[in-house]
Structures are given as structure tokens and as C-alpha cells.
């Protein structure tokens, strides 16, 4: 059964252990004293692994294992997955370990999720199997009351590529939530989660996925205002990659001040040639259109927008207070906007002020 089918409705609880498979195209990075060693895999299942290694750890030792594809030039985060494991036994040629499975999912369902992931990730993509299973388990946890039609719509509407992007966003959001006090207990409304998944799944770049992951994590916080937050998600859905790039440059480089309790940006003036270099474009007309789009979204000040009929030598890239607030949320900031920019001491959560 394909992984998407598991997400459409609860999976049957079949009690069985994961089948062991060889993984010749994959290896594992693990700590070995003061260094990190790469060793080969004898076999792997949904619940454990036998590692061919010279290391011999005591049974019960906990290790973080980075599963990765071998012979791949780009060893980015998309091609790796970290699994927490416990040593079970030592053999003549290596060590057998069991994985620490997600605590909020039945082990038998986890086995079926991993083995069912081959429908989307491909039968040979071991990393993809674990990533997709972990993501679906996470999404099921943060939205346990999701209606069946919501689950079916997400899985039916998203192409295979977009589904993989959604997996990456979910895993990043899981990491964010795991670092928050009480994060493991937070949940999102089906409407908010559907919006983040639908729009965020178009994001191919890792940095943009990080932004969507932050919004997904914040969608799980109890202090959110669902209507205002859904409006925020829909606003971000109108971003193309070039908008994320211009917006990030603007918010990072602008000087911020606190004026009457509101974080504002000082003018950020660049020549048109400098702007083209920053954005990586030779088309000034296009850049002007994208600035106009960000202005129409309420994220850039009106003085940023040049006239199509009057030549300009300089552009002001300063963001609006709303833009600065959104940028703070892109970094999963739950406090006040002024605390994010270091303009005041950190305060309690204030998502509804954004």
C-alpha cells in the first residue's frame, strides 16, 4: 500500500516486525569517540539496523545515526535522515541496533508506513521511506481530528513532487516543535494545516521550505488567531521564489527602530544596478513588477515602487512593519516583534500582534 493511502485514513494495526533488506547504496554516519565514522549497512528494517563496523558499544548505548545515500555529490539535508538508535547486540562483524520509534504511533503502523513509503519515494530510496513515514506520523499527531475528506484532499491533490516537499516541511516543523516547551502536545486545526500543506508544497528550495515549516509550527501554537493566521498563510502563498529572495534581503539589511511601540525600518536605498546584482537578475522591469507585488501585499512601503514610465536611479527596499512582523514569523518567533529584532527584552508569546 502506498504511503498516501495510509494518510487518507487510519492504517490497520497489523502486528509484525519490519522485513530486513540490504541497502548497498546507503551508508551510516555515526560518532566514534571524538570523530564521526562512516560505515556500511548489512541490513535494515523499519525497526532496526545491523551496522558493519569495528566499533563495539555496550548494549543499551544510545546513538544518533545519519542514514545517507552513498556516491552522491550533493549530500544535503534532503538526502540524509537522522535516526536515534539503541545498541541491542554485538556480532563478529558489527553491531545490531533498534530504532527509537515515534512514541505517538503504534509500532505496527510505523512498520507499515515505512514499507508503504516505496509507493512515493521509490523502492530503493531507503532515506525517503523513513522520512515520509516520520512526516505522516507527525502530521497525524498535530492534526488528530482531521476529517477524512481533508486527508483525502491533501493526498489526492498533491503530485508526487509536491508531496515530497510537504514531507520536508513537516519534518522541519517537527524539529521546531520538539524544541519548544510543550511542543509535543500542540496541535493544528485541519483548515490551517491544509493551507500550509497546499501552498508550502510548491516550495522546492530548502530555505523557503524552512519558512513554511516555521509557519506550520506556529500554526500549532495555542495562542494563534486562526482567522488572522489563515490570512497570513494566504498572503505568503502569493510569494514566488524571487519574492522570498527580495523580501529576505530587505528584512535582513534594513535598520530597525522602535517607534511608538511599532518596529519600523529605516530607508534602505540601493541603485538600480545594485538591486539587480542583489536579486541576481538583469531585468529591471521584472524587478520593479515584483516590488510592486510585494507592495500590493502590504510588505513594502509605497515609496519603494517606481513608475514604469519615469526612469529611476535608486530604489528603497525598506519593508513595512507588517513585513518585519512576517519575517519574524518566518523564523518561528513566538514572542513580540521588537524582541526578535533585539529592540526590547524578550516577552511572552504574542502571535496575534503580527
Res. 80: pLDDT tops 50: yes
Task: Name the percent of the chain lying above pLDDT 90.
Answer: 41
pLDDT by residue (tens digit) across 263-320? 999 999 988 889 889 888 888 888 888 888 999 999 987 655 555 555 567 888 999 9
Res. 78: pLDDT tops 80: no
For the chain, which residues make up each domain, given as ranges?
26-99, 143-236, 241-353
Strands, DSSP E only, in 1-44? 26-32, 35-44
How high is the pLDDT of residue 152?
56
pTM: 0.80
With a CB cutoff of 8 Å and minimum separation 6, the contacts of 321 are: 262, 263, 264, 265, 337
With a CB cutoff of 8 Å and minimum separation 6, the contacts of 109 are: 6, 11, 13
How high is the pLDDT of residue 11?
47
CA–CA dist 113, 36 (Å, integer): 30
- Do 29 and 38 form a contact (C-beta atoms < 8 A)? yes
CA atoms within 13 A on the CB side of 97: 29
Instruction: Classify domain 26-99 at the CATH topology level.
Output: Thrombin, subunit H (2.40.10)
- Do 95 and 53 form a contact (C-beta atoms < 8 A)? yes
Res. 119: pLDDT tops 90: no
**Helix residue ranges per DSSP H, 158-240:** 160-178, 190-200, 206-218, 226-236
pLDDT by residue (tens digit) across 230-255? 999 999 999 999 999 999 999 999 99
How high is the pLDDT of residue 135?
85
CA distances 88 to 47, 61, 95, 170, Å, are 12, 8, 8, 30
CA distances 123 to 2, 38, 40, 116, 142, Å, are 11, 23, 19, 9, 28
CA–CA dist 270, 279 (Å, integer): 12
- Please state at what angle helix 160-178 crosses helix 126-142, rounded to 10 degrees: 60
- Range with the poorest average pLDDT among 12-16, 144-148, 197-201: 12-16
How high is the pLDDT of residue 14?
46
Cell numbers standing for residue 196: 500550509
How high is the pLDDT of residue 13?
47
Amino acid at each position: 500500500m502506498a504511503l498516501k493511502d495510509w494518510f487518507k485514513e487510519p492504517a490497520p494495526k497489523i502486528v509484525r516486525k519490519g522485513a530486513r533488506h540490504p541497502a548497498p547504496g546507503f551508508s551510516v554516519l555515526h560518532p566514534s569517540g571524538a570523530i564521526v565514522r562512516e560505515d556500511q549497512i548489512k541490513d535494515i528494517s523499519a525497526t532496526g539496523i545491523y551496522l558493519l563496523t569495528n566499533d563495539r558499544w555496550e548494549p543499551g548505548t544510545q546513538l544518533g545515526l545519519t542514514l545517507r545515500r552513498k556516491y552522491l555529490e550533493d549530500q544535503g539535508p534532503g538526502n540524509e535522515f537522522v535516526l536515534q538508535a539503541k545498541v541491542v547486540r554485538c556480532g563478529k562483524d558489527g553491531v545490531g541496533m533498534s530504532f527509537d520509534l515515534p512514541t505517538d504511533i503504534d509500532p505496527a503502523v510505523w512498520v507499515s508506513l515505512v514499507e508503504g513509503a516505496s509507493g512515493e519515494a521509490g523502492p530503493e530510496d531507503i532515506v525517503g521511506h523513513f522520512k515520509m513515514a516520520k512526516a505522516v506520523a507527525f502530521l497525524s499527531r498535530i492534526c488528530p481530528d482531521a476529517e477524512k475528506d481533508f486527508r483525502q484532499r491533501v493526498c489526492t491533490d498533491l503530485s508526487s513532487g509536491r508531496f515530497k516537499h510537504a514531507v520536508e516541511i513537516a519534518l522541519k516543523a517537527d524539529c521546531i516543535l520538539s524544541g519548544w516547551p510543550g511542543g509535543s502536545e500542540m496541535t493544528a486545526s485541519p483548515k490551517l494545516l491544509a493551507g500550509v500543506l497546499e501552498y508550502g508544497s510548491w516550495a522546492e528550495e530548502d530555505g523557503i521550505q524552512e519558512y513554511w515549516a516555521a509557519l506550520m509550527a506556529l500554526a500549532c501554537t495555542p495562542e494563534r488567531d486562526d482567522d488572522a493566521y489563515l490570512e497570513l498563510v494566504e498572503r505568503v502563498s502569493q510569494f514566488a521564489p524571487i519574492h522570498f529572495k527580495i523580501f529576505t534581503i530587505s528584512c535582513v539589511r534594513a535598520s530597525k527602530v522602535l517607534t511608538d511601540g511599532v518596529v519600523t525600518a529605516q530607508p534602505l536605498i540601493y541603485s538600480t544596478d545594485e538591486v539587480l546584482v542583489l536579486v541576481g537578475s538583469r531585468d529591471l522591469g521584472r524587478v520593479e513588477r515584483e516590488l510592486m507585488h510585494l507592495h500590493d501585499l502590504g510588505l513594502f512601503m509605497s515609496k519603494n515602487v517606481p513608475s514604469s514610465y519615469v526612469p529611476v536611479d535608486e530604489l528603497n527596499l525598506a519593508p513595512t512593519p507588517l513585513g518585519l512582523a512576517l519575517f519574524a514569523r518566518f523564523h518561528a518567533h513566538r514572542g513580540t516583534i521588537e524582541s526578535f529584532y533585539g529592540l526590547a527584552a524578550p516577552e511572552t508569546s504574542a502571535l496575534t500582534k503580527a
